[in-house]
Structure 1
Amino acid sequence: MVEKLIKNVISAMQDRLNDEQLLMLENVLAINLHGLEVKEECTQLVTSERHWEKILRMYIACKRLENCAESTLIAYQRCITMLFEGINKKIHEITTNDLRYYLAVYQEQRHISLSYLDTLRHYISSFFTWATDEGYINRDPSRRLKKVKVPRKLMKPYTAEEREHLKDIAKTERDVAIMELLYSTAGRIGEVVAINRGDVDFINREIVIYGQKGKKERKVYLTEGCMYHLKKYLASRKDDNPALFVGERKPYNRLGIKAIQDMLKKLGRSAGVHAHPHKFRRTLLTDAGARGVPLQEIQAYAGHVKPDTTMLYVAVKEESVKSSFMRLLA
């Protein structure tokens, strides 16, 4: 019956898709329907899915309705799946001690940071609280899981000298343009790689980007340096890919997140600087704060929902503190 179902779907889509797309559709159907049984009399897909898997599927569907980013949904699914496979108990049998033991062993075996450990605790608590509220279980075993106390580290932005050094040793105009855009827009790496050439408004020096978190549109602006290097890079392009940043060789595919991360990592090693994409975001937000831009405006520019999140990025420079102290108190 599964083979017949696949055949019927392919046949129905034959006039709408080309051969390559039909083959891809057939492969996707074969993978997703593998292990399922189709009963013709009620036309339902029946599977020996475990009870917790059904609940997790419903939970992910609810989170998707809440407009959670797809990357977040994948992280939730992976975390909860590993939890159940590790504990190997029915959902209503899991206790608080089971959860504590699982997290303790996970941390010991994988040597994860306290910050990531608290992220896992948050994922687990969110799932079990939802399952309790929805009536799948009678009590929430995660309720007594306490938040992990994470020492707050001040994440340093790039210095002006470090940014210039990275641009000086960059191998291509494209790489300089990427660094300028990451700084100017304070964009998340996923937001930046999704930008197309047509998204850039050179007249008003702005771009409307589609936020990864919360999925809201927001305007970001281009510095003169960013405009100069972006125009220079685009003028050198010989391809017709709509993506703003593409590979250096044919077939000139859109540049991905890992490619930019690797590029910055290599430049950072050569420059003796700890370089990664998110650091440009932190640097712009810190510079904006140091130059008197109100926190509320920085929050809007960054696309943060809460001002507390913005405060984690906006580092207060020591010289600014000293200057204010000497001027107002000394």
Structure 2
Amino acid sequence: MIYTVTLNPSIDYVIEVEDFILDKVNRIGKDDKFAGGKGINVSRVLSNLNIHSKALGFIGGFTGEFIKNSLDATENIETSFINVSEDTRINVKIKSKEETEINGQGPVICNASLQKFYSKLECLESDDVLVLSGNVQKSIPNDIYASIIRKYKAKGIKIVVDTTGESLLSSIKEKPFLIKPNKHELEEIFDTKLTNLKEIIFYGKKLIKMGCENLIISMAGEGALFINNKAVYLGKVPKGEVKNSVGAGDSMVAGFIAEYLKTRDFYNAFKFAIATGSATAFSKDLCTKDKAYELLSLIEVIKIS
């Protein structure tokens, strides 16, 4: 079983405005509402690939009910959320000549709710995959991902982490199976500016030495890197019109897990990760299975070392 954790889910309210202007009344041309949050995005892409997963996290109020109902009924995703007293947040994505995002803060998570969440993890078994995605809100211990990895990695569970800052750094020390920073996040970790591929690989290898087993670095139009102790692969993205910058990284995580569990091959998993990430970037919503496989044959992966 694949479990995804989204500590701070959201409704992603996506609105299209032909020419968004500040300090003016803007008319919406089209709008959509999606269950959002990085772990939920991973579950949604896995569902599109016909792979079952269970979504965990915290929801509250009418917005939380929308998320649960959307995943259960529309997306066919099993959920096991903890209900909290405050409403789940709404994130507004404005698509115009440029993209603008306005993200809510989300509910405060009390200790009792956190303990209920921990109890949900007790069912994990050795052949399961656990995906910990998204930032950790202030009401939750910043090292929660590291604590979870420390406990469940010992049981043989493969743990994937996609977060930033101190949460990521503390997680790396616990040796997760996979992390997926982008180039900008890699620069933030080492407080440096990366100007070429050689530098990106150098700092990627430093993360491997710090503890993580496998690493994907997404670099937008420049492609992506896969690094572990045995190899470095460079993957080039196919050409296409970028319609969506939200969820491409989460789609890469889902694609990698899906293919790795099927083939146990890092090369194939990385290649399919690029296909799913690109398919989302070229779509208005998260990628479909057909779109991912359509792009797969166009992707070139080179072994650098």
Q: Which has the higher strand share?
A: 2
TM-score bucket (shorter structure) = under 0.3
Which structure would you say has the larger Rg?
Answer: 1
Higher relative contact order (CA 8 A, sep 6+): 2
Q: Which has the higher helix share?
A: 1
Relative to the length of structure 1, the TM-score reads 0.24
